[in-house]
Amino acid sequence: MTLLQFSWKALSLGLATCLSVAPALAQQAARPATAVQVPTEAQLAAFPNMTGFRLSSDGKHMLAIESKGDQRTIVVWKTAALSERPTVIGSTSMQIQSAFFLKNDVLGVFLSQPYDSRIGERVVKTFISKMMVTDLEGKKWREPLETSDMGLGETSRRVKALAVPTVLSTMPGDPDHVIMEGDSVGSDRDVFRYNVRTGVATRILRLGEKDSGVFVDSQGRVRAKIRADIDAKGAFIATEIRNNANSTWEEHFRSYVKDRDVVQAVGLGLNDNTLILSSNVGRETTALYEYDPAQRKQVSTVFEHRFFDATGVRRVGRFDGAAAGPIDGFYFDGVFQGEVYYDNPQFDAVVKGMARALGLTETNVTLTEVASGKQAETKMLNGAAVRILDYRAGDVPVYLIQVSGLAYPTEFYLLRGQQLTLLSRAYPQIDRRALGSAKFVYYKSRDGLNIPGYLVTPNPQLCGPGPYAAVVHPHGGPWARDSMDYDGSGWVPMMVSRCQVVLMPQFRGSAGWGRALWLAGDAEWGQKMQDDKDDGAKWLVSEKLADPKRIAMFGFSYGGYSAMAAAVRPNDLYKCAIAGAGVSDITKIVSDFYTNPFFRESQGPTIRGLSPALQADKIQIPIMVYHGERDQIVPLVQSEMFVDKARQSRQKVDYHVLKDYAHGPAWTREIMTRQLSLISDYFKTGCGGSGL
């Protein structure tokens, strides 16, 4: 019986069977029919119970990161004996963040810890990350690309201590070596062949200070790189490809950042001499091309999507764009970001079978071009995405599968032959019914653009019928985007479980939705970019989802800037705002951080518009501002400037500095719980005194 022939009814029955076979991996039994349980802030702040699942190249081992409170350990199983006791690897001095297989019997591990650096009289509070190499039992540890400190001054030693190398290729066919790039803050920002057994590193390419984005194939050959520079026409990105005949570097493409063109090598072509390039030159969305460097000719378009940017390729049994062999699928930034179009019916069958086994149904979705308004109908799973994270062929094929959605906390499964095993419910403490329902939407901006968004609506069983209190929740970046995957920050599940409808607008300036939306945000900070969020609030009211007197804005980073701008702009839309780590003075942030001539010219002109700090004494609504003391992405002074001036207004201003919090994940679950509690409590009893 082949994989495509086995019964998906049998697969559904196998789910229950496997849970009884491997009880140590089953994190949560089915819930009885009880009242909906609203998650606490502490439950929402918890690390995923198990996450970061990876398969070894030979498929014989699997690892994951397990969390118990603030303690995180690496757990390693034999895939053929999941019911046996796994190996557990811990760390006493640093916190484990992630792990992966460098080789079948060698792990790469990323760890972090708080770090205070004294520069003159000033103490900079931040975090440091380190990469270490160890065996499957965690007995021997080594720092890769480690060099002697002899002859280095104090400053150089501190800089070297912060260096973290990047793995460019694990070279699955080589039992001993991988390819690494030295960290840009270190003294050796070059490309090395590193022996995981002996620790010996051999430089294979010396990078210039303007080089970046190196592409290395699975044989360890550096095939292409990106160079960022400036000429008489302005800042540009050059794609250079190594000539196989004489090993010289030749420039094949040059695109100027003012045009926002991007060309990048993302994989090997259908043969060893060609490359797969991603390019948006002359296009609305990025497509994938096969390119022949020797002939300097595009061979064919291998994948394109009318509504979303294509990003990469997947290979049979490797899922590594640098590997050779047949291509089985293509990555694109769809509704669930990082989606895959499978060119191989085997994988499509697995995804559809998993969806059926889990009771996930398909729904019709209308996709709309942002500028033209042209539409197309498609189908997608309702509320969650099923992803094949990894696959190993063989006598018994092995699939590592993830299921996740904004209202569907992440789950991991292993399909081995016909046996399906629940590996982990990442958030077993969360009652899925409390998370309402999520869907992908569009709404019109006042100047006619079709703005994509994610809408999460409370469960009527818990909250009754709408309209509800509402939160417009813009993402950071702004050259970023949201996804329909579960929000591990806890923000969205917390708000919707507290009966607030949440809109995540993909406002102009958001990346991944095509050229029109991306470019439309240039120099529109606090202006048309902000109009898009306000138009989203009005749309919620028009759809009878939001009570017009109970709308707030909450965001972090650029989203925090948006919340500050919402407090300044007189529009009577919002009852209050919450700004986490927001930029308040865009002129100062550009002058402080965009000192590199390339970035000053490429991105500096796009960051123009309203600086909320300059008008904070005229804020129109109450606001809560919070910021991490270890934030080195948006410095604490950005919130301090805004708060100092905002307190001259007639509005109530709450301000909180979070100890040991940076620009992102908290160091402890207590800190993360405090952050969520500040938000939850403000919407419950603050927001002008009566809550949202």
In 218-257, which positions are buried (b, 16+ CB within 10 angstroms) versus exposed (e)?
bbbbbbbbbbbebeeeebbbbbbbbeeeeeebeebbbbbb
Residue 451: name the closest of 493, 505, 487, 529 by CA: 505
| Segment 391-430, tens digit of pLDDT | 888 788 899 999 999 999 999 999 988 889 999 999 999 9
In 360-383, which positions are buried (b, 16+ CB within 10 angstroms) versus exposed (e)?
beeeeeebbbbeeeeeeeeebbbb
pLDDT at 17 over 50: no
- pLDDT bin (cut points 50, 70, 90) of residue 656 is very high
Q: Rounded distance, CA 73 to CA 87, Å?
A: 10
Looking at the structure, tell me whether residues 502 and 640 fall in a common domain.
Answer: yes
Which whole number is the average pLDDT over 21-38? 56
Predicted local confidence at residue 570, as pLDDT: 85
In a domain, 172, yes or no: no
pLDDT at 645 over 70: yes
Percent of the chain whose predicted confidence (pLDDT) is above 90? 68
Looking at the structure, tell me whether residues 495 and 597 fall in a common domain.
Answer: yes
* Structure tokens given for 118: 């004294």
In a domain, 452, yes or no: yes
User: CA torsion, points 268, 270, 275, 281, in degrees to nearest 10?
Assistant: -120
| Segment 556-580, tens digit of pLDDT | 999 999 999 999 998 889 999 999 9
pLDDT at 251 over 90: yes
pLDDT at 12 over 60: no
Predicted local confidence at residue 344, as pLDDT: 84
Predicted local confidence at residue 120, as pLDDT: 61
| Segment 276-334, tens digit of pLDDT | 999 999 999 999 999 999 999 999 999 999 999 999 998 755 545 566 667 889 999 99
Are 63 and 76 contacting, i.e. CB atoms less than 8 angstroms apart? yes
Domain end call among 320, 343, 366: 343
Beta-carbon contacts of 585 under 8 Å, excluding residues fewer than 6 positions away, are: 611, 612, 613, 614, 638, 641
- pLDDT bin (cut points 50, 70, 90) of residue 213 is confident
Which backbone phi and psi does 522 adopt, to 5 degrees?
-60, 125
Which whole number is the average pLDDT over 340-351? 90
- pLDDT bin (cut points 50, 70, 90) of residue 186 is low
pLDDT at 32 over 70: no
Are 96 and 64 contacting, i.e. CB atoms less than 8 angstroms apart? no
- Complete DSSP assignment for 69-120: TTEEEEEEEETT-TTSPPEEE--SSSEEEEEEEEETTEEEEEEEEEEEEEET
Sheet holding 500-505, edge to edge: 437-444, 450-457, 500-505, 468-472, 546-556, 576-580, 623-628, 653-658
- pLDDT bin (cut points 50, 70, 90) of residue 497 is very high
Domain end call among 312, 343, 374: 343
| Segment 667-681, tens digit of pLDDT | 899 999 999 999 999
Looking at the structure, tell me whether residues 533 and 676 fall in a common domain.
Answer: yes
* Structure tokens given for 258: 């003012």
The more confident residue out of 423 and 187 is 423
**Nearest-5° angle of CA 383, CA 385, CA 387?**
170
| Segment 144-154, tens digit of pLDDT | 987 644 444 55
Which whole number is the average pLDDT over 164-178? 91
In a domain, 157, yes or no: no
In a domain, 142, yes or no: no
- pLDDT bin (cut points 50, 70, 90) of residue 157 is low
Q: Rounded distance, CA 577 to CA 692, Å?
A: 10
In a domain, 47, yes or no: no
Looking at the structure, tell me whether residues 334 and 231 fall in a common domain.
Answer: yes
Predicted local confidence at residue 306, as pLDDT: 93
| Segment 359-379, tens digit of pLDDT | 999 999 999 999 999 999 999
Predicted local confidence at residue 415, as pLDDT: 93
Predicted local confidence at residue 149, as pLDDT: 46
Looking at the structure, tell me whether residues 498 and 646 fall in a common domain.
Answer: yes
Predicted local confidence at residue 379, as pLDDT: 92
* Structure tokens given for 383: 């509320």
Write down the H helix ranges in 297-426: 345-357
Predicted local confidence at residue 383, as pLDDT: 87
Predicted local confidence at residue 620, as pLDDT: 94
Strands annotated E in 397-493: 398-405, 408-416, 419-425, 437-444, 450-457, 468-472
Domain end call among 308, 343, 378: 343
Looking at the structure, tell me whether residues 436 and 334 fall in a common domain.
Answer: no
Residue 440's CATH number: 3.40.50.1820
Q: How many CA atoms lie within 13 A of 385 on its CB side?
A: 20
Which whole number is the average pLDDT over 231-252? 91
Looking at the structure, tell me whether residues 655 and 530 fall in a common domain.
Answer: yes
Q: Rounded distance, CA 70 to CA 471, Å?
A: 30
| Segment 94-144, tens digit of pLDDT | 999 999 999 999 999 999 888 877 666 677 777 888 999 999 999 999 999
User: CA torsion, points 575, 579, 580, 585, in degrees to nearest 10?
Assistant: 180
* Structure tokens given for 374: 């042209």
In a domain, 581, yes or no: yes
pLDDT at 631 over 80: yes
Looking at the structure, tell me whether residues 482 and 591 fall in a common domain.
Answer: yes
Q: How many CA atoms lie within 13 A of 407 on its CB side?
A: 22
Looking at the structure, tell me whether residues 663 and 532 fall in a common domain.
Answer: yes
Are 235 and 601 contacting, i.e. CB atoms less than 8 angstroms apart? yes
Predicted local confidence at residue 194, as pLDDT: 95
State if pTM tops 0.85: yes
Residue 679: name the closest of 579, 603, 610, 590 by CA: 579
Residue 408: name the closest of 440, 390, 389, 433 by CA: 433
Predicted local confidence at residue 314, as pLDDT: 86
Peptide bond into 478 cis (omega under 30): yes
Range of the domain at 441: 432-685
Which whole number is the average pLDDT over 230-239? 91
pLDDT at 2 over 80: no
Sheet holding 222-231, edge to edge: 211-216, 222-231, 234-242, 249-256
Looking at residue 15, its amino acid is L
Q: Rounded distance, CA 533 to CA 566, Å?
A: 9
Write down the H helix ranges in 114-153: none
Residue with tokens 């592409």: 215
Which backbone phi and psi does 563 adopt, to 5 degrees?
-65, -40
How many domains would you assign to the chain?
Answer: 2
Residue with tokens 């991603």: 278
| Segment 545-558, tens digit of pLDDT | 999 999 999 999 99
Summary mean pLDDT of the chain: 88
Q: Rounded distance, CA 28 to CA 81, Å?
A: 21
Task: Describe the crossing of helices 8-21 and 345-357 by its angle, rounded to 10 degrees.
Answer: 60
pLDDT at 170 over 50: yes
Which whole number is the average pLDDT over 616-620? 95
Predicted local confidence at residue 530, as pLDDT: 98
Cβ atoms within 10 Å, residue 647: 14
In a domain, 218, yes or no: yes
Q: What is the DSSP letter of 227?
A: E
Predicted local confidence at residue 258, as pLDDT: 86
In a domain, 261, yes or no: yes
The more confident residue out of 594 and 599 is 599
Percent of the chain whose predicted confidence (pLDDT) is above 70? 90
- pLDDT bin (cut points 50, 70, 90) of residue 343 is confident
Predicted local confidence at residue 219, as pLDDT: 85
Predicted local confidence at residue 33, as pLDDT: 66
* Range among 172-181, 318-327, 499-508, 628-637 with highest mean pLDDT value: 499-508
pLDDT at 614 over 80: yes
Beta-carbon contacts of 252 under 8 Å, excluding residues fewer than 6 positions away, are: 239, 240, 241, 291, 293, 296
